[in-house]
Amino acid sequence: MFKVEEKATNVAGLALLATQKPPRGHADLVDQFRRAATSVALNTAEGCQRVGADRKHFLRVALGSAREASVALRLLALVGVVPVAQAAAIEAGLDEVRAMLYGLGRR
């Protein structure tokens, strides 16, 4: 397993754990966040097994999903669904994954 794949999977796991039981009124945003975080891990894994343009495509999709997950996470922290400290830890992981994906996408 590539480091970026492992990191993306771990971050997605943290995201899923942080949003297991969403309060009423935030289910749509929680679902969007969970899907985006999961998409980061899945597209990273797919991209790591591809070559050429296919590889870059999947890594770009993963990068976009990481940005989407970050925005959703900030919103969830703002409304109190995810505690700020927990959100900060997840965001730090997403930031690391984004940096790794960016580097891989430039190769």
Say if residues 63 and 98 touch (Cβ distance below 8 Å): yes
23 or 99, greater pLDDT: 99
Say if residues 4 and 33 touch (Cβ distance below 8 Å): no
Mean pLDDT of the chain: 95
pTM value is 0.93
Euclidean distance between the first and the last CA atom of the chain, given in angstroms as a whole number: 19
pLDDT tops 80 at residue 17: yes
User: And the tokens for 104?
Assistant: 């891989």
Average pLDDT (93-107) is 91
* Phi, psi (rounded to 5 degrees) for 2: -70, 150
SS3 readout for 30-84: HHHHHHHHHHHHHHHHHHHCCCHHHHHHHHHHHHHHHHHHHHHHHHHHHCCCCCH
Instruction: State the pLDDT confidence band at 1, using cuts at 50, 70 and 90.
Output: low
**pLDDT at residue 36, as a whole number:** 98
Say if residues 11 and 41 touch (Cβ distance below 8 Å): yes
